[in-house]
Amino acid sequence: MDIRVVSIGTLPAHPLWGERAPVRTGHATTTLIRAGKRVIVVDPGLPSPAIEARLGERANVTAREVTHVFLTSFQPDTFRGIEAFGHAVWWISEAEREGIGVPIAMQLRDAARRGDEALAAMLERHVAILKQCRPAPDELAAGLTLFPLHGVSPGLTGLVGALPRHTLVIAGDAVPTVEHLEQGQVLPWAADVTQARESFVEAIELADLVICGRDNLIVNPTRRAF
């Protein structure tokens, strides 16, 4: 199994850098996983042309070769470029799909009632994407399993990769950046901060290596040196 970061993400506002309002366009870290016949893209947060370019630059993979997409959570920062993989199977955890579906439908209804056409059009796209996402199986490939990390969003779910010598966790926004990892912090705007903290601890207890939601591949600092 080959797991590699193809695009390093960023937060729109990094609270541990003292930022309180967005200063950049946020996008999730995108990871490519090749396991057997499956080629899986996790969190295509950049626009389609950019994510396609990153795949070619970092892994010599074309969009047509991708067989599956997995979203750790459902937000524009994780699925901005998902239409580049319209031929692939799209996965999301059932908990996230159910937890986010009703709020989006309510927002769409309210936008339509107010006559906010721009917001309604954006939300209609979100609904269409969510409808195309299938509930992810517990095991996406041999040695690659779902890892519930609820809290930042209702059903945020990472992945655990069992590598020959190490355990790798793709944490999504449960562990957003290296600063959050080192300081033991979670995102303050989490849907459930207490649950987010519990998920953070679970990720750190399991992982030798962490792919953060808005950062690179990082060695877990609580582990002994390799």
Mean of pLDDT values over 6-18: 96
pLDDT confidence of residue 209: 95
**225 pLDDT above the threshold of 70:** no
End-to-end CA distance of the chain: 20
Name all domains of the chain by residue range, CATH numbers in brackets: 2-219 (3.60.15.10)
Q: Using pLDDT thresholds of 50, 70 and 90, give the confidence band for residue 102.
A: confident
Non-local (6+) Cβ contacts of 73 within 8 A are 96, 152, 153, 155, 156, 157, 172, 173
Q: What integer best gives the mean pLDDT of the chain? A: 94
Length of the chain: 226
Mean of pLDDT values over 58-64: 96
DSSP characters for 38-81? EEEEE---S-HHHHHHHHHHHH---GGG--EEEESS-SHHHHTT
Mean of pLDDT values over 190-208: 96
Per-residue pLDDT of 65-89, as tens digits, reads 999 999 999 999 999 999 999 999 9
Q: Which residue in the block uniquely carries the two structure tokens 């239409």?
A: 83
Non-local (6+) Cβ contacts of 97 within 8 A are 74, 130, 133, 135, 155
**223 pLDDT above the threshold of 80:** no
Q: Using pLDDT thresholds of 50, 70 and 90, give the confidence band for residue 139.
A: very high
pLDDT confidence of residue 111: 80
Q: Using pLDDT thresholds of 50, 70 and 90, give the confidence band for residue 156.
A: very high
